Amino acid sequence: MAWGHTGSPTRFRKAHQTLSARKLMVTVFWDAEGILLIEFMTHETTINSEVYCRTLKKLKRAIQNNRRGLLSSGVVLLHDNARPHTAVRTGEVLRKFKWDVFQHPPYRKDLALSDFHLFIAMKKWLGDSISLTMRNLKTL
């Protein structure tokens, strides 16, 4: 039984949930100067300690290439306490790199500073991409 207007159809179709082929998982690292590394994960990749350690090695190369001197002055990484982040193997890689880990503050739904910073940069990037696409469409 469902409420509806007098002219509404009496039969309702049940929505079927389908998996989207367009969903992507992205890992993003940034500092005060901007984005350092964006890594798009391959389809059906599970983030575990091994994958996360490979990503940290890519991050180290990105820092070497884009922020000269930062590695010698010290890197402080802020990540949460997810299993790949706290795994023994991840800890070994971080010690090898001589990187410190800043303790992640407890979750508060009204305060997500890292998301705030990231989404402003992402909004600008998406806005620039959309305007470029619109300009390209107008020239066709």
The domain made up of 25-126 is a member of CATH 3.30.70.3270: no
Residue-level pLDDT at 29: 87
DSSP bridge pairs for 137: none
pTM of this prediction exceeds 0.85: no
Question: 3-state class of 96 per DSSP?
Answer: helix
**What is the identity of the amino acid at 118?**
L
Joined together, the tokens standing for residue 29 give 């690292």
| Residues whose CB is less than 8 angstroms from the CB of residue 38 and which lie 6 or more positions away in sequence, other chains included | 26, 27, 28
Q: Can you give the residue ranges of every domain in the chain?
A: 25-126
Residue-level pLDDT at 112: 54
Residue-level pLDDT at 125: 63
Residue-level pLDDT at 61: 93
Can you give the pLDDT of all 140 residues of the chain as single tens digits? 556 666 666 665 666 666 655 667 888 888 878 888 988 888 778 889 999 999 999 999 999 998 888 887 788 888 877 888 889 999 999 999 999 988 776 666 555 555 555 666 666 666 665 555 555 555 54
Burial class (CB within 10 angstroms; exposed 0-12, middle 13-18, buried 19+) of 118: middle
| C-alpha dihedral, 89 to 93 to 96 to 99, nearest 10° | -120
**Dihedral pair phi/psi, residue 126, rounded to 5°:** -65, -40
| Widest Cα–Cα separation across the chain | 73
